[in-house]
Amino acid sequence: MFLDEAGKPLNRAAAVLSGRSTGAPGAVAMLAMAQADHGKLPWNRLFLDAERLADQGFPAPGRMAMSAASRSPQASTPDALAYFTKPDGTKIQKGDTVRNPAYAATVRKIAAEGPKALLEGEIGEAIVAKVREGERPGTLTLEDLKRYKPRKGQALCRPFRVYIVCTPGAPPGGPAVLQGLGLLERTDVAAHPNDAEGWYLFSQASRLMYADRDRYIGDPAFVHVPIEGLLEPAYLDQRAKLIGPVASPTAPPAGTPRGAQARAPDQTKEPAGTTHFVVVDRAGNVVSMTTTVESIFGSGRMVHGFFLNNQLTDFSFSPTDKDGAPIANAVGPGKRPRSSMAPAIVLDRNRNFVAAVGSPAARRSWPIISRPSSPCSTGRCRCRRRSACRT
């Protein structure tokens, strides 16, 4: 799917802009499932603000204007140029009023008909037609959209100090966050809040956690994911011993947790992006939600006022390594790609709510850890000694 005619992985930009990058959009169907289980207001009343903003307009945020004027390939697609260019031929600026009547019509239709308005009929047909355009068309069908079902699963919860941290299971990033916390708990990071020593320990726990995550995490409906082994205290003890006073010059290899199967290391590219929000209501209900179209403006293709996602480029472009070993996050029909998204809800030991947290997801960000303006906090710190990391 993401290999060229010579069997080599596609250039990432070419893959993102192609029709092959778009998977069935699932957030609306998931929200409908959650609303059916927990909602009190009628579904058709939940879209009034979105419809009003799209119809009447809203001031362009600075980040939107900056992204629209960026060199990102998605910002230069015909659909993006049409949306972000003003009548005088200039790009939108911060504070300019942005109107999107096509999107207002879309949310009105979803409000009236539910998720099938997006996954079937006129809008579904437009999605399928759009992904089939261009040099590398996708194979998404209307039947694929109709058959899409959100997946409901149990939270993955583990103790951390005096708390219980609950996240989604695989293929999102929850298991990796819990493993990282387990590794940090075996260091003296608590004695170093926001200093060089603490960031050093955080960086080293991250290296170990990502080595395992990139090797073993995929969609558990298709591949065996050794989550219990990865989070086992004895395994965390073993991995934490690799955090020494000086960082190794190369990234550490993945470990071998209990239940692990032979997997090749993964080189999936994961740019920053994404949205996170938290809602806590007076009745004690809590939502911690991360949602994304993956990259800036998704695939750069629009239908009915919204950008199509490029989430399928979260898969490994190659299904095997150079020696033919299988990669856990390889592409497969019906498979969900691995994600860094890891919304979390934190409880105390009596299971009372403490906090809900999350982060715009990428390999450089953990939802549990806030990030100050330090070079070591952004994944770009190249120091090898703790004393060399300065905030």
Q: What is the pLDDT of residue 250?
A: 83
DSSP for residue 255? -
pTM for the structure as a whole: 0.86
Q: How far is CA 98 from the centre of its chain?
A: 26
Q: How far is the C-alpha of 345 from the C-alpha of 368, rounded, in Å?
A: 10
Residues 6+ apart with CB under 8 A from 318: 2, 3, 9, 267, 327, 330
Q: What pLDDT is recorded for position 374?
A: 39
Q: Are 19 and 133 in contact (CB under 8 A)?
A: yes
Task: Tell me which DSSP letter residue 320 carries.
Answer: B
**Domain 156-268+322-388 is of which CATH architecture?**
Orthogonal Bundle (1.10)
Cα–Cα–Cα angle for 339, 173, 272, nearest 5°?
55
Residue 178: per-residue pLDDT: 97
So what's the pLDDT on residue 166?
A: 97
**Helix, strand or coil, per DSSP, at residue 330:** strand
- R_g over Cα of the chain: 22
Angle at 39 between CA 284 and CA 55, to 5 degrees: 110
Strands (E) across the chain are located at 58-59, 97-98, 156-160, 163-167, 275-280, 286-291, 302-303, 306-307, 344-348, 353-357
pLDDT for 138: 96
Read off the tokens for 304.
Answer: 């009915």
CA distance 204 to 217: 19
Domain ranges of the chain: 12-151, 156-268+322-388
- The H or E element spanning position 204 is helix 196-216
Q: Which residues of the chain have pLDDT under 50?
A: 368-391
State the chain's mean pLDDT as an integer.
Answer: 89
List pLDDT tens digits, range 316-367. 999 998 888 899 999 999 999 999 899 999 999 999 999 999 987 656 555 5
**What confidence score (pLDDT) does residue 286 get?**
95
